[in-house]
Amino acid sequence: MMLPLYEGLMTIGAPAIELLLSKRVKRGKEDPARLPERRGIAGLPRPPGPLIWLHAASVGEGMAALALIERLLEHTPDRHVLVTTGTVTSAALMADRLPERALHQYVPVDRPAWVDRFLDHWRPDLLVIMESEFWPGQISRTKARDIPIVLVNARMSARSFSRWEKAKGAAATLFSRVDLVLATNPEQATRFSALGAPNVRVAGNLKRAARPLPLDTDKAAALEARSGQRPLWFAASTHAGEDAPVLDAHLALRDDRADLLTIIAPRHPHRGAEIAALAADRGLTAARRSQDQPIEPGTDIYIADTLGEMALFFHLAPIVFVAGSLVPVGGHNPIEPAHFDTAIILGPLMSKNQEIASEMIAGDAVAPLTSAEDLAPCLAALFGDEARRGDLARNARAYVEEGMRVVEVIHERVEALAAPSPARKSS
């Protein structure tokens, strides 16, 4: 009963959805040139042959999926993978990182007519949904066409599980339509089974198998020449509320290290001016990469307010703080810096990557904080102990290298569902 009601509301709610899309365009959260894709109108032709549709909500899920996408394409030369995401930032990163024969489109809003229009055009042979992006219309309309559905890296927070439990009938209707759930761990598997998913397996966390970010060696050399021998550290993917503790940590540290350089990359680059203002309020000199402002001897804070350059700063910095973990965002993926031989610091709020964070803490592969106030003392200790930094970096690299087996397990199970149905082989 819940699904027809949901689909009815999404159908009659078209004016409200259009208004919301218009507001998102004004806020820079939608690409106006590609807005038709959000209505299910394709921006590209469907390539011939088998097609797997992989949906990832945003940057983190999309980056985690890259290793799987590469494996799905590796030995099937006539296959394509269509990747959908819902954010402008993820679209830009996918454009840079997707391999040949992988295409990107914005995911259609979950209105029945728009999802159907999308499916009419793309005719996928399999839908792979990453992590916790469960849209009832997307799942039900896809399953109505006998297209297999698999949840990869499937996870559900305790709060989400509690909400679904209160609507067990709707949950059973939705998750019973999923052919395979590949959960990150046994606890997550139990949750999906309890909600009615018929085929649940534990496959491990695909984020552990993320490939190293590509490094532009010429740009890296230029940055190294500018920063010289200065002590420096990198606050990666900060959100509002985290820049102030980072700047305050810089102030606390520079009593002993007057030439300290702090690099801040905001998760959303448009916040560069805001961070520069916060620095100025503290008497700190900031340079913004988006404005081509170079690192000078007097630069205290370098704001990396650009896209697609995180590898440069992971490579440059001996210490990286993974942000999104001092505010209730859920923490970003610590796997990315782990490839770059750097000592990693995590804040306490890592709910979106809690499994990885807990494993890395247990393996002495990261330095955990209990609060924002711990950031400066942790940095001071790491700057003063090169051997400790080396231990953390080596343990982090060992963790990601061992995790590469996860992608093979997931690929094998996804491949078993990926054969085109007879009805679609001729289309």
Alpha carbon of 415 to those of 182, 206, 368, 418: distances in Å? Answer: 13, 15, 37, 5
Residues 48, 293: Cα–Cα separation, whole Å: 47
The predicted pLDDT at position 7 comes to 87
Residues 263, 286: Cα–Cα separation, whole Å: 10
The CATH code for residues 217-403 is 3.40.50.2000
The predicted pLDDT at position 426 comes to 40
Give the fold, CATH level 3, of 19-209+406-425: Rossmann fold (3.40.50)
Residues 107, 92: Cα–Cα separation, whole Å: 14
Residues 295, 365: Cα–Cα separation, whole Å: 30
Domain 217-403 in the same topology as domain 19-209+406-425: yes
Amino acid symbol at 390: G
Q: How many CB atoms lie within 10 A of CB 101?
A: 17
Average pLDDT per 10 consecutive residues for the chain, totaling 427 residues: 82 93 93 96 97 92 89 94 94 90 97 97 97 92 97 92 91 95 95 96 87 92 92 98 98 95 97 98 98 96 96 98 97 94 98 91 98 98 98 95 87 88 48
pTM strictly above 0.85: no
The predicted pLDDT at position 405 comes to 85
The predicted pLDDT at position 421 comes to 56
The predicted pLDDT at position 60 comes to 81
Alpha carbon of 336 to those of 70, 98, 207, 340, 370: distances in Å? Answer: 17, 16, 9, 8, 22
Residues 112, 7: Cα–Cα separation, whole Å: 6
The predicted pLDDT at position 227 comes to 92
* Domain definitions of the chain by residue range: 19-209+406-425, 217-403
The predicted pLDDT at position 425 comes to 47
Residues 100, 72: Cα–Cα separation, whole Å: 12
The predicted pLDDT at position 420 comes to 63
Kindly list the catalytic residues.
61
The predicted pLDDT at position 133 comes to 87
The helix/strand/coil state of 229 is coil
